[in-house]
Structure 1
Amino acid sequence: MHPLFALPIFSLLIAPVWGFCGTSVNLIFFYMTWATLVLSHSALRVELVGTATVRLLCYALPSLLFFLFDILTPSAAVLLKTQGEYGLPAGNKRGKIRRKDLKVAVWALFNLVLGVAVQGAIEHTLTSRFRKVSLVRVTLKLPLPWSLVLEIFWGLILREILSYIIHRWILHTKNPLARLHAAWYHALRAPYPLTAHYDHPLAYLIGRWLPTILPVALWRLHMVSYLVYLAIVSLEETFAYSGYSPMPTGFFIGGMARNTEAHLHSLGTGNFGPWGILDRVMGTAVDDKFVEEDGE
């Protein structure tokens, strides 16, 4: 990433949380940074570097740190695991670092990069070859606060619906893609850091990447709304798949983490949506007994 381009991206991300400046100063600085970014670079570059930056800061780096903590200090990590030793990558706190664990980490990071690359290829094809509008609105005009909230809200709701539909009726039915998903992701004993993006690349693109990017394209979110939306999704994946019991929001993220564990331990018989809302409505919620029994 070119340093002159990286500075506006990082400034854009941290401007809203600067507490030592007044609100007006923050808003002015935020808009000036955004204007500099939009006027200095192409919409495609803004979108792709913004996507990569959010994924790096909100998912890749924290998940990688959690993963290293698990494999390098298992005796300490086990104290934070909901399922104790069973939730560690090696399966016990005396286990050595295995090639299989490193393979999971490498494939997860590869899939993350693959998703950004596919997004870039689609955007380039749409805007350059077919002269269509981009999936994300990169404009000088910023969305109003209420519009920002609504865009993010509907994006997350549509992601929940798409994730449930694809996960249940594509990745868990009798077809080649479902077999790849079963052979890769469901070969794991328990979720642990980085496993949110671990799967066969094709199954990953259909089951993880598509439900995340499709709401953005259908609603055509503004770039700022998209960055916040992607940050929420990335942080959700980081903590829900960490296997840890302490969570930033115990009820919501903690509940998602337990649903994720139960889905894996039940061999994919339920808990298909990220939040579990549609599973409750559709009667596919898996009882926590799977987690409790495996953690004993």
Structure 2
Amino acid sequence: MLSSGSTSLNLIFLSLAWTTLAATYSSLQLELFGTFALRLALYILPSLIFLAFDISVPSLAVEFKAQGKWGIATNQHGGKKRLRRVVAWSVVNVVGCVVLQAATEFLATDVLRRLKSLLLIKGSRWGLNGLPNPWTMVKHALIGGLVRNISDENVCGFG
């Protein structure tokens, strides 16, 4: 009984924060900053955490690696110099994808001026900025993950 009240209160605060975000920033800004934040949180930070674990406790990390001691990044050919280069390229790739997305959108909307936005941002007609509600985005993310898994199985011949 007590938990349902706090959940409802959390949903109200989430809706209030979401509405404030949607009213404050343009849809392009939200798309680019959201994309960058997700890539930072889901790609770069976990990779750096596991890399730090491999480097700081290699004797324990060896137990989890399929290649044994050669699975540790500093034990591979090229050593620390190559490791720094791989980390730098990984960060450049993630940031470069967001910059490419922004440049493509800018070219389509501001330079060519005849094209509409390439962003597929659709929300309810009651939403600000045409942004979807958070629960709609979660639903679409789940559908996208399901479709991706089904298509991976069919492409690989398992389906």
TM-score range, shorter chain: 0.7 to 0.9
The answer to whether residue 57 in structure 2 is matched with residue 73 in structure 1 is yes
Whichever of the two has the greater Rg, that structure is: 2
Q: 2:156 is matched with which residue?
A: 279
Aligned residue pairs total 149
Q: What are the superposed Cα offsets for residues 177-215 of structure 1, whole Å, 9 maximum, x if unpaired?
A: xxxxxxxxxxxxxxxxxxxxxxxxxxxxxxxxxxxxxxx
2:48 and 2:138 map into 1 onto residues whose CA distance is 30
Structure 2 residue aligned with 1:51, among 16, 19, 35? 35
Q: What are the superposed Cα offsets for residues 4-46 of structure 1, whole Å, 9 maximum, x if unpaired?
A: xxxxxxxxxxxxxxx8972211211111111111111111111
**8 Å Cα contact 2:54-2:61 kept in structure 1:** yes
2:5 and 2:56 map into 1 onto residues whose CA distance is 40
| Change in CA separation of 1:60 and 1:138 when aligned onto 2, cut-off 3 Å | farther
Alignment of 1:3-82 (within 5 A): 22-82=6-66
SS at match of 2:23: helix
Aligned sequence identity (%): 33
Bigger fraction of residues in helix? 2
2:62 and 2:132 map into 1 onto residues whose CA distance is 45
Q: Which consecutive residues of structure 2, in runs of 5 or more, have no partner in the other structure? A: none
SS at match of 1:78: helix
1:81 CA displacement: 1.9
Letter in 2 for 1:53: A
Structure 1 residue aligned with 2:69, among 85, 96, 102? 85
TM-score normalized with structure 2 length: 0.74
TM-score normalized with structure 1 length: 0.43
Root-mean-square deviation (CA, aligned residues, Å) is: 3.2
**8 Å Cα contact 1:43-1:138 kept in structure 2:** no
**8 Å Cα contact 1:48-1:120 kept in structure 2:** yes
Alignment of 1:1-296 (within 5 A): 22-91=6-75, 97-128=79-110, 129-137=113-121, 139=123, 140=127, 142-143=132-133, 145=135, 148-149=138-139, 151-156=140-145, 159=148, 278-281=155-158
